[in-house]
Structure 1
Amino acid sequence: MNNRIVAGVDGSAEGLAAAHWAAREALLRGVPLHLVHAEEWSSPRSLAVPTSEVRRHWAQALLTETADELRARHPELDVHVRSFDGRPAAELSGMAAGSDMIVLGSRGLGTVTGFILGSVGMAVIQATVRPVVMVRANEAAVLHPDGRHGARELLVGVDTSRPCEALLAFAFEEAARRACALHILHNWSLPPLVGYGAAYDPRVHAQLEVSADASLRDVLAPWQDKYPDVGVIARASVGHAATELIRMGSGADLIVVGRRIRRSSVGAHIGPVAHAVLHHAKAPVAVIAHE
């Protein structure tokens, strides 16, 4: 463990929401919170660019104001601040590498369009193997008992055909810290020849359903043994994983999704399920990298 939580702040409502969520997470884990501001200033030659001194003064004022607000709400919280002059995604990814988690804000445009992930958030998710949590602006306004996270369940989507140890480790540890239920969802698809029209065979469907349930139980068994106090609600069902996670995640405190670590130098690859959940879920979303 790296024993710190990092939150990126940029003066937006989303950045403030991320800072509040990160403060609650730092208290939950008993670790310091590091507030980070990184910005690369550029503009067309026809427009004036603020001087370095003005930019540094603004960034420091933003960090100080945010830190003071968090300390006032959480007197026991250990808060540190740091600003960078440079590329935000690169600086935030560098801070994330030495942290338990990085928390960023993400702008929402209502229930249909949901998250606008943005180039910085996408780049950080792709560049770091540490957990990244994206938080909507409305999350900061939710009142939590004792100023901490709520007690609603956590939701995690798993694919039993792929490695999911990192995903389940994060989800079970987080649920144990919060003393809340963990809802685990595995979605599977019918083979085309048995799933549609005249070719549909209910006996094959039933056999596949039993197999999917058994596979999920086998994957979860060692984790339930390790965390016997975590209440688990596990379900394997036919359907599209992203659609089900978005639907069920409306009542969750946190949605946990995975992304495969891809070592391609072209583009940010986070996978279709994580991409869809990040853009449409209402709850905060934790993205966990795995092989």
Structure 2
Amino acid sequence: MHAPVIAGVDGSAESLAAAEWAAREAERRDRPLRLLHARNRHPRDKVGEPSPELPASFQQGTPVAAQRPPARRVLRRAEERIRGAVPGVRIAGEQVEGPATAALLTAAEQAEMLVLGSRGLSGFTGFLVGSVALAVVAQATGPVVLVRAEERAEDEHVPAEDGSASTRTGYRDVVLGLDVNDPSDEVIEFAFAAARLRQARLRVVHAWQPPSAFGLGPGDIALVKDPYRAEEWQGFLSAVLQVWRDKYPEVEVLETVVREKAATALVRAASGAGLLVVGRQLADRPVPARTGPVTHAAVHHVSCPVAVVPHH
């Protein structure tokens, strides 16, 4: 049996948007969709201490048990929204008891991908990613996609000729952030597969920065000129991608090499994209969970859905 696409839902606007995006992705992949609602009955649930999975719109100072909408209603609302937007997808809903982070991490192990919501903020301050979503992204062993609350089906598509939003036009680019010093097959394949499913262009971005003069050895002085170094990085990127171009010949690939910090380059490249794909390295030994600066910047500042793909 194929692994499902799983969406975590808690009744918030961002989780409903994530569930709808997950439904569209499940339909593209011909996978079932599983809606998961975690209900934490921890003894610390008391006045003034809302659990991290609660929407920020819930009022403070009310017993947490009273603040939470019934699980059945949460799942029903998500299913109703999906039925209206993606009527053909196969849906199953499930309620689990216990902390949301633990439940979602377990679900991620069984999923094609796990989809969660993140709340948008106004201006240029970025996006508020809840503590549960951050913890899941930092620890999950399978792909996790974060979707902002305002995400709509039209946002995945390029505008119509008159500039209006449409779902009848082609898909926006899939953007892949790739470090050619440590390329990951899992991350690259996820991005190529996503582009193929959408019949979209794949834009692969590698960012580099020149080494400090203090780090150069006696034989490295000829490498100081940036144009030559940029050409070298371009050659490395092309070599890494060639096997994937051969495997996915139907995917149009645009290679971009820029002299810039990776986080800055990716945030800019993802502007106008339909999906950004980044990697997160799994630790070989127990260490505190972390996402790394590039993934951190992506999940906080990129407005399109962000897929974080763990790899060794």
Q: CA deviation at 1:149?
A: 10
Instruction: Give deviations 1:166-196, integer Å, cap 9, x for gaps.
Output: 111000011011101000000011112299x
Name the structure with the higher helix share: 1
CA distance in structure 2 between the partners assigned to 1:144 and 1:250 by the alignment: 12
CA distance in structure 1 between the partners assigned to 2:173 and 2:130 by the alignment: 27
Aligned CA-pair RMSD: 2.6
Q: How does 1:222-233 map to 2 (within 5 A)?
A: 222-233=243-254
Overall identity of the aligned pairs, in %: 39
Q: CA deviation at 1:128?
A: 1.7
Counterpart of 2:203?
183
Task: Assess if the C-alpha contact under 8 Å between 2:20 and 2:85 holds in 1.
Answer: no
Task: Assess if the C-alpha contact under 8 Å between 2:279 and 2:310 holds in 1.
Answer: yes
Q: How does 1:9-20 map to 2 (within 5 A)?
A: 9-20=9-20
Q: CA deviation at 1:256?
A: 0.6
> Which moves more between the two structures, 110-119 or 99-108?
110-119
CA distance in structure 1 between the partners assigned to 2:78 and 2:168 by the alignment: 17
Tell me: CA distance 1:30–1:183, structure 2 relative to 1, closer, same or farther (3 Å). Answer: same
Tell me: CA distance 1:224–1:111, structure 2 relative to 1, closer, same or farther (3 Å). Answer: farther
Question: How does the TM-score come out when normalised to structure 1?
Answer: 0.89
Task: Assess if the C-alpha contact under 8 Å between 1:163 and 1:290 holds in 2.
Answer: no
Structure 2 residues not aligned, in runs of 5+? 49-60, 158-165, 216-220
Tell me: CA distance 1:148–1:136, structure 2 relative to 1, closer, same or farther (3 Å). Answer: farther
Counterpart of 2:185?
165
Counterpart of 1:75, as a letter, is P
Q: How does 1:129-144 map to 2 (within 5 A)?
A: 129-140=141-152, 142=154
Q: Structure 1 residue 81 and structure 2 residue 129: aligned?
A: no
Counterpart of 1:126?
138
CA distance in structure 1 between the partners assigned to 2:129 and 2:64 by the alignment: 26
CA distance in structure 2 between the partners assigned to 1:193 and 1:81 by the alignment: 58
Tell me: CA distance 1:77–1:47, structure 2 relative to 1, closer, same or farther (3 Å). Answer: closer
Tell me: CA distance 1:132–1:111, structure 2 relative to 1, closer, same or farther (3 Å). Answer: farther
CA distance in structure 2 between the partners assigned to 1:117 and 1:48 by the alignment: 24
Task: Assess if the C-alpha contact under 8 Å between 2:9 and 2:16 holds in 1.
Answer: yes
CA distance in structure 1 between the partners assigned to 2:225 and 2:305 by the alignment: 37
Instruction: Give deviations 1:14-37, integer Å, cap 9, x for gaps.
Output: 001101100100000011100111
Counterpart of 2:53?
none
User: What SS does the corresponding residue of 1:50 show, helix, strand or coil?
Assistant: helix
Q: Structure 1 residue 102 and structure 2 residue 114: aligned?
A: yes
Tell me: CA distance 1:167–1:48, structure 2 relative to 1, closer, same or farther (3 Å). Answer: closer
User: What SS does the corresponding residue of 1:163 show, helix, strand or coil?
Assistant: coil
CA distance in structure 1 between the partners assigned to 2:256 and 2:171 by the alignment: 21
Counterpart of 1:260?
281
User: What SS does the corresponding residue of 2:36 show, helix, strand or coil?
Assistant: strand
Q: CA deviation at 1:141?
A: 6.5
CA distance in structure 1 between the partners assigned to 2:156 and 2:209 by the alignment: 38
Q: How does 1:109-120 map to 2 (within 5 A)?
A: 109-120=121-132
Q: CA deviation at 1:95?
A: 1.0
User: What SS does the corresponding residue of 2:151 show, helix, strand or coil?
Assistant: helix
Q: CA deviation at 1:262?
A: 2.0
Question: How does the TM-score come out when normalised to structure 2?
Answer: 0.83
CA distance in structure 2 between the partners assigned to 1:148 and 1:79 by the alignment: 24
CA distance in structure 2 between the partners assigned to 1:149 and 1:164 by the alignment: 31
| Number of aligned positions between the proteins | 284
CA distance in structure 2 between the partners assigned to 1:184 and 1:262 by the alignment: 25
Counterpart of 2:294?
273
